[in-house]
Amino acid sequence: MSENLSQLKSRMAKIARLGEAAALLEWDLQTYMPPGAVAARAEQSATLGEFVHELFTAEEIGALLAKSEADTAGTDADSDDARLLRALRRDYDRAIKLPADLVAEFARHTALAQDIWQRARAASDFAAFAPALEKMLDLTRRQAEALGYKDHIYEALLDIYEPGARQADVAAMFAEMKPALISLTQAIAASAHPVDDRLLHGDFPIEKQKALTLRAVQAIGYDLQRGRQDEAPHPFCTSFSRDDVRITTRFDPKFLSQALYASMHEAGHGLYEQGFPPEYEATPLGHAASLGIHESQSRLWENLVGRSRAFSTFLFPLLQETFPDAFAHVAPEAYYRAINKVAPSFIRVEADEVTYNLHILLRFELECDLLTGKLAVSDLPAAWNAKMQAYLGITPPNDAEGVLQDVHWSGGLIGYFPTYSIGNLVSGQLWHAIGQALPERDAQVARGEFAPLLGWLRENVHRYGRKYLPAELIQKATGEPLTSRYYMDYLTAKYRDIYQL
């Protein structure tokens, strides 16, 4: 390794460790922090964030990066070092392209806008949020212009979360899925064999749910020596090293699915991060390839595994043992059907597998139109409701359950939503490849043997961390570019069976 690269890595490691400390501040904020500490925590996070930014955008980093690139020019382009420099170049260029005053204004407005949004949502008053959203769109456009793009302003934003993804590709893929998703949703609604999910509602004491979710996530391979589960108002996964990957969940004592499948989802994220190679620790490669790839892991474990007939077979004895009153006289098939009930609903985070992607398509379309000026902010609630009616056949009774439901737009995260659907598509494509590689997969899952499945993901996804761009990783792992085909095939087959279509 050249002396320049060695120095660069050493600096990056220090910056990474500071970033890990910042992540702990955030985890603590969401889990254990006393309520009175909000203002102090904001100062701590802002200060650490400023230092990390200042250290990372220092001219010395740029110089070391350029010299390291020169030193490694002509060497194996697929080596870890070459890939690390490529990833770092992307990060560094993006960081220095953004003017400091724009970054500061963005941060200030985000704090303000989130507060305004919370109150607007509580009052279901879109007009109260509209000026803040208008300004957020302006700042986001300025951000996109500073970052640069080739074909569409959306590209610059999407690229932050899903490196290399192009707006036109995503738009085409989504447009292709849309009619199939709408007609599947409609067919399910008209089915003569509706799903009854009442058995998931009842008395499920939280302590017992905790024990059950821990058994489930440990069974699939989530390592509690290098992780833990806590409670938080909104479930998430975070990490401060591959050896400290934490998940959170939320328990509803009256509804079993809430915590159980949220835990499977977060454990899916957690398995990914616990699977990064130790040599990537505290380097630019010791991260997820993208948010979409991250989401593919969570959705794979939550849905393609967790909500499968095979997993339900494995889980059922544990369920009966934990909640004998509720499940002693229930057939496993009834449970499997209950956890896969499909019904159009207003809130994205509560949506089932089939309708979920329609929620995302709607947001993606609206974001594109808002950014390009095709849609005015004042017309947004009507546009939202019209799309909800067209795609899902329902109209939100108010803006709180409609256009104001998500934190993303007030949080400055415009361009983020598509990664959720990309994650679903990737999960389907990986699932298909796994089925080819492991013909016994479903039988193994039903027996609680998750090692082959996890092993495949470790080998084909996790161990690469951020070495490859998402498109490269998908090609490498599945032998073809990203397509919606496998995910749509999966959905169609699964729900035709359940709803006897």
Q: Using CA atoms, how far apart are residues 277 and 335, in angstroms rounded to an integer?
A: 37
Cβ distance to a copy of itself smaller for residue 359 or 466: 466
Cβ distance to a copy of itself smaller for residue 34 or 74: 34
Closest residue by Cα to residue 306 from 122, 452, 445, 98: 445
Which residues here bind a copy of itself, judged by CB under 8 A?
13-14, 17-18, 20-22, 24-25, 28, 32-37, 39-41, 43-44, 46-48, 50-51, 223-228, 230, 240-241, 243-244, 246, 281-282
CB 403 within 8 A of CB 379: no
Cβ distance to a copy of itself smaller for residue 48 or 147: 48
Smallest distance, a copy of itself to C-beta of residue 389, A: 45
Cβ distance to a copy of itself smaller for residue 125 or 230: 230
Residue with tokens 């992540």: 23
Smallest distance, a copy of itself to C-beta of residue 48, A: 6
Which backbone phi and psi does 500 adopt, to 5 degrees? 50, 55
How many helices (H) and strands (E) in the chain? 21, 3
Smallest distance, a copy of itself to C-beta of residue 369, A: 41
Cβ distance to a copy of itself smaller for residue 246 or 309: 246
Cβ distance to a copy of itself smaller for residue 217 or 375: 217
For 227, the enclosing helix (H) or strand (E) is: strand 227-231
Specify the 3-state DSSP secondary structure of 169: helix
Q: Using CA atoms, how far apart are residues 281 and 208, in angstroms rounded to an integer?
A: 35
Cβ distance to a copy of itself smaller for residue 221 or 292: 221
Please tell me what DSSP assigns to residue 304. I
Smallest distance, a copy of itself to C-beta of residue 270, A: 11
Tokens of 162: 């899903």
Specify the 3-state DSSP secondary structure of 77: coil
Active site residue 266: yes
For 210, counting Cβ atoms within 10 Å of its Cβ (0-12 exposed, 13-18 middle, 19+ buried), the class is middle
Smallest distance, a copy of itself to C-beta of residue 248, A: 12
Smallest distance, a copy of itself to C-beta of residue 20, A: 5
In sequence order, which residues have a C-beta less than 8 Å from that of residue 282 and are 6 or more positions away?
A: 12, 13, 16, 17, 20, 241
For 47, the enclosing helix (H) or strand (E) is: helix 38-56
Q: Select which of 134, 155, 231, 266 is catalytic.
A: 266
Smallest distance, a copy of itself to C-beta of residue 50, A: 8
Report the Cα–Cα distance between both ends of the chain, in Å, rounded.
60
Counting other chains too, the contacts that 317-321 makes at CB distance below 8 Å and 24 or more residues apart are: 318/212, 318/215, 318/216, 319/212
Cβ distance to a copy of itself smaller for residue 39 or 192: 39
Smallest distance, a copy of itself to C-beta of residue 425, A: 33
For 159, counting Cβ atoms within 10 Å of its Cβ (0-12 exposed, 13-18 middle, 19+ buried), the class is buried
For 228, the enclosing helix (H) or strand (E) is: strand 227-231
Active site (catalytic) residues: 266
